[in-house]
């Protein structure tokens, strides 16, 4: 399995590197004046338990289970993935600048898998985004943010002011799309995470009910 994943990773990376030449930009957007220094993703800002049905597709491998995310202090979340029968598969603590692996099932204990999960959840749980420029279109208020080598393009629904999408780019090329289906400011009912360079996708479906 490890050899297959590594070969698929390398071939897919080369293929997408060759074809991914389109520069990302907001569609039908116009620049607008902006007074905000930061915008935020508040979906994991509460100290409640966030519990989701999780489906992960890593190339031709499918993993499903129950994902629990808990904010344990102002900078750190604990993330636990169990099987549908409650057996622990992976358990880690993560912040913007740190990662502590508490447990991993042997089948998932691959450096490539761990790195993808670390990077994906660091991005998913990122809360603050410094604003470089603001835009809007007919449906959304849009913000361009830059952190390190990455640019982030955030879309907020005009009617609800809720975050609906984050597009992570590097060198203006799409790397990861996060799409949110949401009714409340601190809890996204459905989350789709799609890699553009690799055949890796994560889907999260709400289990817990919120007030």
CATH number of the domain bearing residue 144: 2.50.20
Q: How many domains does the structure of the chain reveal?
A: 1
Is 20's pLDDT higher than 50? no
The model's confidence at residue 61, banded by pLDDT at 50, 70 and 90, is: confident
- Confirm if 121 and 94 have CB atoms less than 8 A apart: yes
pLDDT, tens only, 102-142: 999 998 898 988 999 999 999 999 999 999 999 999 899 99
Q: What is the pTM of this model?
A: 0.86
Domain for residue 202, yes or no?
A: yes
Q: What are phi and psi of 115, to 5 degrees?
A: -65, -40
114: Cα within 13 Å, side-chain hemisphere = 19
Question: Max CA-CA distance within the chain?
Answer: 52
Domain for residue 11, yes or no?
A: no
Domain for residue 8, yes or no?
A: no
Domain encompassing residue 175: 23-206
């Amino acid at each position: 399995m490890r050899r297959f994943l590594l070969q698929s990773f390398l071939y897919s990376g080369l293929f997408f590197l060759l074809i991914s030449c389109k520069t990302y930009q907001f569609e039908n957007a116009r620049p607008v004046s902006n007074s905000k220094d930061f915008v935020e993703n508040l979906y994991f800002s509460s100290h409640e338990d966030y519990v989701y049905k999780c489906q992960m597709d890593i190339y031709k491998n499918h993993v499903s289970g129950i994902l629990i995310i808990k904010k344990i202090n102002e900078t750190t979340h604990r993330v636990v993935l169990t099987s549908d029968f409650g057996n622990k598969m992976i358990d880690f603590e993560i912040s913007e600048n740190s990662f502590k692996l508490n447990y991993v099932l042997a089948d998932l204990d691959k450096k490539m898998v761990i790195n993808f999960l670390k990077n994906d959840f660091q991005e998913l749980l990122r809360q603050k985004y410094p604003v470089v420029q603001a835009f809007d279109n007919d449906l959304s208020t849009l913000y361009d943010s830059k952190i390190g080598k990455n640019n982030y393009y955030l879309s907020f629904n005009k009617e609800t002011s809720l975050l609906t999408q984050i597009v992570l780019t590097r060198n203006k090329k799409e790397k990861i799309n996060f799409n949110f289906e949401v009714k409340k400011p601190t809890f996204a009912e459905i989350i789709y995470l799609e890699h553009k360079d690799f055949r890796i996708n994560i889907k999260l479906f709400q289990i817990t009910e919120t007030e």
